[in-house]
Structure 1
Amino acid sequence: MSLPKPVMRGLLAKRLKFHLPIAFTLSIVAAAIFKYTVTEPRKKAYADFYKNYDAMKEFNAMKEAGIFESVRPSGE
């Protein structure tokens, strides 16, 4: 008694019909999860930070700390 031959003709197409929709669905779900758990909170954090950010105040603080070599601190 021998085993029956495996059906090879059309096997790839048959498997793709099953796996391709699953792959697309999972990728869309993963992208949506990433968007709402990573990028949206990050956008909100940046917006909150720059809402009250004063660039000149930050520049003057760095200037007074001596970070810049080409800018003299006030009082010199």
Structure 2
Amino acid sequence: MSQVLNSTNDRLWLKDSHQKRSNRSVELGKQTIDLLIEKRIPVTYTNIANYSKEIDTEGKGIHQNTIRTNEQLLEYYKQHSLTYK
């Protein structure tokens, strides 16, 4: 009753799905950061998470950890945050 697992399966659909979500997070995060700057609100993880829900068409927004784990979004955050150390 042993199974042979095929580890060569690249699961392209999964990579494609992950890339779409990552791109969505970057775009939504950048839009939110730009909005915060425009409204003169401090660019913090919490503010980004809260305001992203308001401008997201799906109403989901992005989580604070998404900013920390997404390299592109983290770099954009570092450039515009006055509170980042």
Same fold (TM over 0.5): no
**With CA pairs under 8 Å and 6+ residues apart, which has the higher RCO, 1 or 2?**
2
TM bracket, shorter-chain basis: 0.3 to 0.5
What TM-score, normalized to structure 2? 0.33
What TM-score, normalized to structure 1? 0.35
Greater share of helix: 1
